[in-house]
Amino acid sequence: MKKDEELTPEEFHVLKEKGTEAAFSGEYLHTKKKGMYVCKVCGNELFSSEAKFDSGTGWPSFDDAANRENVILEEDDSFGMKRTEVKCARCHSHLGHVFDDGPASTGKRYCINSVCLDLQEQSTD
């Protein structure tokens, strides 16, 4: 588990202060590599690359969590908007938000900040 002082200022702002990275700036926005996206703070498995899709919104998007027990969904009424916040179930770090405008298979779009994730790449052998 990473300590707060081990996070970059941007990582701390997003993960601990519920900030947002700039749209179209994230490391994983256009990544096509296969693997598991895990929480930057605690390593909890969050999203499979198989669930990733290009939503055109500027943030990595997934149509489902790898294991729904690994994420917490909470109402978020900040900034005068009604949204659903996505948090890591293990360390309660802020990850992003989920919306009901995703692909037909689930109808969900988990819009997640790249700085909240680490990609554990799938072996190619």
Q: Is 116 a catalytic residue?
A: no
Tens digits of per-residue pLDDT, 6-64?
999 999 999 999 999 999 999 999 999 999 999 999 999 999 999 999 999 999 999 99
Please write down the long-range contacts of 48-51, taking CB distance under 8 Å and 24 or more positions apart.
49/119, 49/122
Alpha-carbon span 11 to 91, nearest angstrom = 14
47, 37 in Cβ contact below 8 A?
yes
Q: Which CATH number fits domain 4-121: 2.170.150.20, 3.30.200.20, 3.40.50.300, 1.10.260.30?
A: 2.170.150.20
Confidence of residue 68 (pLDDT cuts 50, 70, 90): very high
Q: Which of 39, 42, 88, 111 is catalytic?
A: 111
Tens digits of per-residue pLDDT, 79-108?
788 999 999 999 999 999 999 999 988 999
